Amino acid sequence: MSNFEVQAGNARLFKLDAEKKQRELTRLKGLRETGQAWATDDQCHDYDGFIKIDQQVIDYLSFSLEHGQDRINWKGKIAKKLDGSPMLKIGDLWVGGEVPSFKKFKDSVPPSAPAKPPAEAVKPPTEAVVTEDFDDDIPF
């Protein structure tokens, strides 16, 4: 499984390299210059990443909330990306209490069909939409 073939419920955190860290510090400096006092260098993060979700994850979280569980737990393992740089693999989602682990939950519940937008959302407009060019009124 490559770094980007992550199963739902799992996550990856990647340590920022020097270039990305510098870009973030520059971004924070720009925010400070516009009056954002909170944007100090110590607010710069060290890792960047993602959590993969699908409908089963949403169903699991909903099920967990229905059973009084409001905390997500994961296990993490230090690993290396294909280029050898470090990352943190996060997986084995569970919440505790009477709720089974995510793996047991998804093995016991058939996957949900992908959510479809309501029919009203996909209907083309029946009336012509009048648009005006307001660019001349914008002061910047």
What is the value of pTM for the model shown?
A: 0.62
Cα gap 56→62, rounded to integer Å: 10
Residues above pLDDT 70, as percent of the chain: 75
Torsion angle of the four alpha carbons 28, 29, 33, 35, in this order, in degrees rounded to the nearest 10 = 30
pLDDT one-digit tens code per residue, 72-129 = 899 999 998 888 888 899 988 889 888 999 989 988 877 665 545 455 544 555 565 5
Task: State the DSSP string of 67-107.
Answer: TT----EEEEEEEE-TTS-EEEEEEEEE--TTPPPHHHHHH
Cα gap 42→131, rounded to integer Å: 46
- Which residues on neighbouring strands pair with residue 40, listed in sequence order? none
- The mean pLDDT value of the chain amounts to 81
Residue 2 — very low, low, confident or very high, per pLDDT cuts 50/70/90?
very low
Contact 88, 3 (CB under 8 A): no
Q: Check pLDDT > 60 for residue 55.
A: yes
